[in-house]
Chains A and B, each alone.
Chain A
Amino acid sequence: MATYDLKVNGIRQTVDVSEDTPLLWVLRDHLDLVGTKYGCGIGQCGACTVHIDGNAMRSCSLTLAQVEGKSITTIEGLSENGAHPVQQAWKAVDVPQCGYCQAGQIMTAAAFLERNPNPSASEIKNAMHGNICRCATYQRIYQAVEMAAENKSTSELN
């Protein structure tokens, strides 16, 4: 067991867990941040995507030693009340079916658009290719990312 100081959604948290505990399970079981989902545990599905210093990463494959001292953002901390343009676009397009993968999809999309605010169609598809949606809402995920990009550039222009 070891003690770690984490900064999660802007709040400092101290946890005492064994060294190999993935960030995913610390978020879910220790910090009650269950918006980050478990899908595969091997970095293949993207349901557990969080931001580490603004980069989209798979929390199932990160140890706490790798993220200590860094800024960790989960879906719960992405915005106040779901106001982030990506979350708004997800609502406008009515993306989810079961909804289980969508937090991971949103976190991937939000980090991507931060880096590439005016993406092409193929850039959007490449960026979202790593996140599995078992209900196959891919068409809507694509539309929502495109809409978020457009809304973001519009709001920046204004």
Chain B
Amino acid sequence: MRTTSLAGGGMLIGFNLFQACKPKVALEPVVDFSNLDFKDFNAFIKIAENGVVTIFSPNPEIGQGVKTSMPMIIAEELEVSWDKVHVVQAKLDTQNFTRQVAGGSQSIRKGWDALRRTGATAKQMLVNAAAQRWNVAPESCTVKEGVITNASGETLGYGQVVNEAAQLDIPEEVVLKDPKDFSIIGTEAVNVDIDEIVTGKPLFGLDYKKEGMVYAAVVRPPAFGQQLAAFDAEKAKAMPGVIDVITIGEKARKIIEAQPRVGNFLSTSDKVVVIAKTTWQALKAKAAIAAEWDDPSILENSEDHDRILKELLDEGKFENMRKDGDVERAFADTDLILERTYEAPFLPHNCLEPMNFYADITADKVHLAGPIQTPQWKAGLVAEMLERPIESISMEMTRQGGGFGRRLFGDFVLEAAEISDKIGKPVKLVYSREDDMSTGVYRMPLQYRIKAGVKDGKVVAYHLKEAAINSNMYDLIPNFFPAGAVENYQVDTAVYKSNITTGAWRAPYTNFLAYAEQSFFDELAEAMDVDKVQLRIDLLKNVDAEADERIEYSPERMIKVIETAVEKSGWGTQPDDVYQGFVNYYCHNSHIAEVADVVIENGEPIIKKITCVVDCGIVVNPSGARNQVEGGIIDGIGHAMYGNLSFEAGKPMASNFDRFRLIRMKEAPEIETHFIQNGLAPTGLGEPALPPAAGAVANALKAATGQRIYQQPFTKNPELLKPKAQQLIG
């Protein structure tokens, strides 16, 4: 941590988030900022002599709301009025920030303590400066909304003491506020970019423009695994606005050779790049390129994947991920065995802002800007790929038109850098929607087979088998519920390697596993002839989370959300024509229960409402938090109902929204959200509401139609979505 007096007056307090103090770093050049002669050195807080407070938001904003909620935490402890705070998106700055990542729903959870300390430390220094001027003890002063008051009632604003505060020692220990005194955290804050969003100001990557910038559109292999054989660009070169047609790929192959995992999301093929004066000219000329491709040994088909994954489940060699007791022995001595298999297809992310990135690579510097969830990782890869020192790279994060995991990968950043390096001009790489959907890093197809054994009315064995394309569930998942609840418990996985690129998609693996498991529990309760909610509570009561340190979820917190959901949803007390489905789930450190209400209208089951109870600890911004829950649930339902990307001969069968169905207004149910108030530190919220939603709907549809659904998307089997015959008569 450090402080600096500013040339134009005022103080800039630099805090090194998440780390111990580091030596001073060089100041960057003076920039014009709100007409104040500030020096911009990428720390957290700027306070000007006129009292203006600027807070830098460190993490990428992809719609999860951290650009609002992270600064709120600082402002709370700084004791300033939230409506006077000016929020600015920080650039990538590895000196001052760590984990500038949007992923895993971890920004608030991992930033919580450091953000509070940042605000509290600044406040203490400002108070110390005022106390020194008054010659009183700092403890005798109080602070409210950026104004310090002493025992005699004299006041000083933060702006009046910033210059003195900057000269003081930085306190090592600070007192954090008692959460019951929070006046910003827990209040409804509107998105900090709301004015710009509703008036159409430039905010997003596609809106980013620089002098001399040209546009690039890329011809990539139409089928996964193909390599460029030959191309003819004569026609494209003659088209209006086309500056050049080049190829890239050499540097991509180099970085893949050095770091093979980059090959999981970046093709090794040469690619043809059209450079043009405008986006339209680039996209149009790209379509005029005639390219020939060499096929790989396998051009993959979804039909084969379905069969291969099933074979893996039937006879595959599994890797074990967790094993408690002996499931096989337990299955041999049971009264009841239930085994079911659940299947999911590929899904594209479909961020509404297609992939794009800006790169300006000159002899001595590399400037990158755009929508990216992992700026540090990408800056490092570009440095390595171009053999540049990391210090020569600057990375700006724009607001991002959705992320959902797609912008974790940043294949487009590497492409933009290779293009700019080759043409020696600032360039904006743009994807068409078709490029975006057909050259994705998709959610992989998954199949889960679950087997449970019951003896004397008790679940004694539970065996979860996963068959996945390219990669298996992450290590924490086998320790989620019902781990610890069943004596004999086993999780196994088997993977088929495909040349279709796959990766994280909002709530990886659990986005499908939660539906499979929660459908299974529902069916298991029916088979056992026990109450569906009570079965879950009974299982949770078996868990001794203290005795098994691998178990992350809290059975007590889970039971609390379940009981609250029962109450809030009117579970078991609804009229006969409201069909309900119940689920509970833990992921991204949060506990959730959801209840879906399905009714029959005009002979069709309609998802009317979802009641959701969330324990994510302290809710920083209730408006933003509810928005995440509402969006996550509808996103989960939409993809479970309609989402399907199939492949034939290595090519996806949909490349735009005419063939890939996303959920729309009329299909979106009402969402009612309740947060558990427990004063505990915040946990994740960008993802956790999504995974359980499909299970809640599937269980409610079972109640409405009498049919279990084992495949996503649900609309793949329309006969399962018909109401029971007597409902149609009624």
Contact = CB atoms under 8 A, between A and B. Distances in A.
B480 interface: no
Interface string A51-73: 00000000000000000000000
Contacts of B353: 37, 39, 98, 100
Interface in B629-660: 630-635, 638, 656-658
Contact of B191 (A37, A39, A42, A94): A94
A33 B200 contact: yes
Given A42-B433, A126-B666, 20 more contacts: A37-B204, A38-B279, A39-B657, A74-B200, A82-B199, A90-B197, A97-B631, A99-B193, A100-B204, A100-B401, A100-B402, A132-B664, A133-B352, A134-B351, A134-B352, A135-B635, A136-B638, A136-B668, A139-B634, A140-B627
Interface stretch (B62-70, B159-167, B458-466): B62-70
B150 interface: no
Interface in B605-625: 623-624
Contact of B190 (A18, A91, A106): A91
A29 B656 CA distance: 23
A91 B665 contact: no
15 contacts: A22-B280, A35-B199, A37-B352, A37-B401, A38-B279, A81-B199, A91-B194, A96-B198, A97-B64, A98-B351, A100-B352, A134-B404, A136-B631, A137-B627, A141-B665
A119 interface: no
A134 B350 contact: yes
Main secondary structure of the interface of A (DSSP, over half): loop
Contacts of A100: 63, 204, 352-353, 401-402
A25 B282 CA distance: 11
Contact of B198 (A39, A87, A136, A138): A87
A102 B197 contact: yes
B662 interface: yes
Contacts of A128: 665
Interface residues of A, number: 59
A136 B352 contact: no
Contacts of A37: 204, 206, 352-353, 401
B199 A76 contact: yes
A41 B432 contact: yes
Contacts of B227: none
A142 B665 contact: yes
Contacts of A22: 280
Interface string B161-200: 0000000000000000000000000001011011101111
Nearest to B202: A34
A92 B198 CA distance: 11
B663 A99 contact: no
Nearest to A74: B200
B399 to A, nearest CB: 7
Contacts of B65: 97
B498 interface: no
Contact of B195 (A1, A82, A129, A140): A82
A138 B663 CA distance: 10
B352 A39 contact: yes
Contacts of A131: 664-665
Interface of A: 1, 18, 20-22, 25, 28-30, 32-42, 44-45, 47, 74-76, 78, 81-82, 87, 90-91, 94, 96-103, 106, 125-126, 128-142
Given A35-B200, A99-B399, A100-B204, A136 B666 contact: no
Highest count of chain A CB atoms <10 Å: which of B279, B399, B402? B402
Nearest to A22: B280
A97 B671 contact: no
Given A38-B354, A98-B63, A98-B353, A136 B206 contact: no
Interface in B423-437: 432-433
B606 to A, nearest CB: 12
B278 A45 contact: no
A81 B194 CA distance: 12
B345 to A, nearest CB: 18
B1 to A, nearest CB: 33
A139 B630 CA distance: 8
A138 B634 contact: yes
Highest count of chain B CB atoms <10 Å: which of A34, A125, A140, A142? A34
A25 B280 contact: yes
B544 interface: no
B194 A94 contact: yes
Given A25-B280, A30-B278, A81-B199, A98 B665 contact: no
Interface string B665-695: 1101011000000000000000000000000
Contacts of B658: 42, 44
A91 B352 CA distance: 21
A18 B662 CA distance: 33
A87 B199 contact: yes
A106 B657 contact: no
Nearest to A81: B199
Contacts of A99: 63, 191, 193, 197, 203, 399, 401
Nearest to B207: A34
Contacts of B199: 35, 75-76, 78, 81-82, 87
A137 B630 contact: yes
Interface in B337-385: 350-354
A106 B345 CA distance: 34
